[in-house]
Amino acid sequence: MKRLWLAGVTLIFIEAGAAGQQLTTMVPGWAIPGQTIDAFISCDAEHTFDLPAMVEFYPAVNIQASNIYLVDVSNQRLGLTIFIPAGTPCGSQTVTVTTNSYEFVGSGIFSVCEPCPGGCGNEPSITSIEPNKGQAGESLKVKVTGSNTHFAAASSVLSLGNDISVGSITVTSETELEAQITISDSASASSRDVTVTTGSEVAVGKGLFTVTAPPLELSPDSAAQGETLSEVVVSGGTGFGASTTVDLGEGISIGSISLSDSTSLRLGDVRISLDAPVGYRTLRLRNPFYSVEKAFTVLQGPQTQLLSITPNHADAGHPGLPVLLVGQHTHFSESDKQVSLSAAHSAVKYLQAVSSTELQATVVLGRNALPGLYDVTVALGVEAGCSNCEKVVLEKGFEISEPAVISAIDPEQLLPGEKVELTVIASGGNFQGDQVQVLLDPPEDVEILQATVLDGDHLQLEVTIGEKASGQPRDMTVVTGSEVAFGQGVFDVFHPALAGVSPTSGMRGTSVHLTVMGMDVEFQGTPSLSFSGTGIEVLSVALDPQDSSRLKAEINIAADAPLGARDVTVSSGGIELTAPRAFAVIAAPWQSGGEQNGCSCSAAGPQGANALVMLLMLLAGLRRFLS
């Protein structure tokens, strides 16, 4: 709580919070002047206390409260010590508890002096009145119930204090009566004692009836940030006086308060600061106490703006660009905020308020985000459904551009189980900085050890490829700062093999022109060809100019070469591949069957095997075509 003295008038400014919280009981409910007591205060079931807390009494403002603490884990009871100075006038007290979160009010829950002087045995008393409250200016019928009373027709008189007139009274029994009452327009909002006098019998119920304030109105009831109102009129109340104080919350100062009459106040030089939070305000008055929600609205001023977003550009497909948004006279906080980018296929995540004017966030762009300039919006109060909440827009503040295309990686042929250094090539990639993020889809069994920018178009990677890495072509995304380069299916793990040879057999004593067929391999350099066993001489081996996965060879089979199947081995570019039993030496037709030593079986074996590898080769080619 802050107090400000202006022109002899005390203004009390209370931290903004929810209004209408009630104190239900105070035990004990009374004490005598000069006494110090320990007491407990309870609040309504829908709210809780927190500390620090301040406890005040009205009209006996000299009552002192100390040693305030929470009684139990429910946080709905406060314990405290109260000192009532000698000379404090007797009467009912309004108790106010102010915490960081709420302001609680309990009318007539405590009184100074005994509620029934001389003892509380069989003395007559008033136990209830229904209804137990009424608004200034209202007329209503009430039912009063007493204890140990002797109400009598024509002799019982009901009193509810000043400014409440009592009309006709109907006594229904010695302990019950009904009456018509009228509350004056000028009646102050406070708790009232209910007194019924029947001859010499006086029955009192302390603070059983409460006069509530009529609705207050402010004119004007809104202003923009940075605006000054020469006068704001508060009307519709009752009991206004020289000690009345007014508060409109954070960022609103009131230069002066003048009294028109007991029902109207004039607030002069009302200034709304540039940093005043936008939205509805609760009007709070003291002496008498009023609390009116949404009584005034602070409108957003033209100087409350979103100034910048840095960086203000990213390529489509960016997985997450950290940005800093800077505002002016804004109120960014850890809660109640929302940031949006107007582009489709985009999202803003991981918000964190650095201060009321700085907000960190991460911009995520889908690969389908369209290039262009887009608005950036920061809104507060959206979740609360506020119709007048802070919202700042940076028009066309963020640009989305097309990502660069990864045209190739070198070397292109990557093998399972190897650790390799390769170069990523993307014309116009704008590779930059030392923070490089490389993403593969799917990522399984491939680890990026290190990434280094060579220049704007070239990136060097150290990669370990697992033994079980699949041969599925993978998409590659490279992120450097706000720049993105994307390559579809550019990263592939090869599983090279020999699919077979054609023809699959040759006769003794002949020369044969062979085609050696590879699968998932590109033959390079000067390849070599060899056969298991003896009797086969390789005369020449060359790359097939039409297909890098094939070799052309010429072999000579000796006239006495052993019959049967042979393994075929090719070495090329550091890769050695073997096709078991892929070629067979067979006898010439003029040679005896005995000499062939069962060659028909031997020849059939390789031919069957070669049929299988030819099928594998076909499947491999189909996979490459589909990818």
Q: What would the two tokens of residue 253 be?
A: 């100062």
pLDDT digits (tens, 9 = 90+) for 187-197: 777 889 999 99
Question: Is residue 322 predicted with pLDDT exceeding 90?
Answer: yes
Between 9 and 228, the higher pLDDT residue = 228
What is the pLDDT confidence band of residue 237, given thresholds at 50, 70 and 90? confident
pLDDT number for residue 586: 94
Same domain, 153 and 194: yes
User: Which of 401, 422, 457 is the last residue in one of the domains?
Assistant: 401
What is the pLDDT confidence band of residue 382, given thresholds at 50, 70 and 90? low
pLDDT number for residue 121: 52
Separation CA 538–CA 515 (nearest Å): 13
3-class secondary structure, 240: coil
Q: Print the SS3 string covering 531-566.
A: ECCCCEEEEEEEECCCCCCEEEEEEEECCCCCCEEE
Residues 434-440: contacts with CB under 8 Å, at least 24 apart: 435/480, 435/481, 436/478, 436/479, 436/480, 437/319, 437/478, 437/479, 437/480, 438/476, 438/477, 438/478, 438/479, 439/319, 439/476, 439/477, 439/478, 439/479, 440/474, 440/475, 440/476, 440/491
User: Which of 112, 138, 169 is the last residue in one of the domains?
Assistant: 112
Token look-up 């990677």 returns 461
Q: What would the two tokens of residue 484 be?
A: 């993105």
Mean pLDDT of 219-233: 95
Same domain, 595 and 504: yes
pLDDT number for residue 145: 96
Residue 337: exposure state from Cβ atoms within 10 A (0-12, 13-18, ≥19): buried
Q: Is 118 a domain residue? A: no
What is the pLDDT confidence band of residue 6, given thresholds at 50, 70 and 90? very low
Q: Is 397 a domain residue? A: yes
Residue 596 corresponds to which amino acid?
Q
Q: Is 267 a domain residue? A: yes
Same domain, 531 and 621: yes
Measured in degrees and rounded to the nearest 5, phi and psi for residue 239 equal 75, 15
Separation CA 497–CA 501 (nearest Å): 12
Same domain, 158 and 99: no
225, 184, 212, 211: which is closest to 292 by C-alpha?
212
Q: Is 594 a domain residue? A: yes
Q: Is 119 a domain residue? A: no
Token look-up 């006038």 returns 89
| Cis amide leading into 311 (omega within 30) | yes
Q: Is 235 a domain residue? A: yes
pLDDT digits (tens, 9 = 90+) for 68-127: 998 888 888 899 999 999 888 888 899 999 998 889 999 888 988 865 444 445 678 899
pLDDT number for residue 297: 93
Q: In what order do the strands lie in the sheet with 458-465?
A: 408-410, 419-425, 458-465, 446-455
Dihedral of the alpha carbons of 151, 154, 155, 161, in degrees to the nearest 10 = 90
The residues near 119 (Cβ < 8 Å, ≥ 6 apart) are none
Same domain, 614 and 504: yes
Question: In whole angstroms, how far apart are CA 620 and each of 310, 332, 552, 573, 577?
Answer: 48, 58, 20, 20, 16
Residue 391 corresponds to which amino acid?
K
Q: What is the CATH number of the domain that holds 413?
A: 2.60.40.10
Separation CA 509–CA 535 (nearest Å): 10
pLDDT number for residue 623: 53
510, 541, 537, 511: which is closest to 526 by C-alpha?
541
pLDDT digits (tens, 9 = 90+) for 425-464: 998 888 988 889 999 999 999 999 999 999 999 999 999 9
Same domain, 157 and 92: no
The pairing of strands 564-572 and 575-586 is antiparallel
Same domain, 15 and 103: yes
pLDDT number for residue 622: 53
Same domain, 208 and 235: no
pLDDT number for residue 44: 86
Domain count, the chain: 6
Token look-up 């009467």 returns 91
User: Do the Cβ atoms of 500 and 518 come closer than 8 Å?
Assistant: no
Separation CA 413–CA 41 (nearest Å): 80
Q: How much is the pTM?
A: 0.57
Mean pLDDT of 594-615: 45
User: Which of 401, 435, 465 is the last residue in one of the domains?
Assistant: 401
Separation CA 196–CA 149 (nearest Å): 9
User: Residue 454 belongs to what domain range?
Assistant: 404-491
Same domain, 202 and 262: no
| Cis amide leading into 131 (omega within 30) | yes
- How many CB atoms lie under 10 A from the CB of residue 152? 13
Separation CA 567–CA 585 (nearest Å): 11
Q: What would the two tokens of residue 460 be?
A: 């060097």
Same domain, 92 and 199: no
H or E segment and range at residue 92: strand 91-98
pLDDT digits (tens, 9 = 90+) for 398-436: 999 999 999 999 988 788 888 999 999 998 888 988 889
Q: What would the two tokens of residue 304 be?
A: 């409350």
Separation CA 417–CA 443 (nearest Å): 15
Same domain, 505 and 614: yes
Same domain, 186 and 262: no
Helices (H) and strands (E) in the chain, counts: 2, 50
pLDDT digits (tens, 9 = 90+) for 533-580: 999 999 999 999 999 899 999 999 999 999 999 999 999 877 889 999
The pairing of strands 201-212 and 133-135 is parallel
Between 16 and 175, the higher pLDDT residue = 175
Q: Is 117 a domain residue? A: no
Separation CA 271–CA 302 (nearest Å): 16
Q: What would the two tokens of residue 618 be?
A: 């076909």
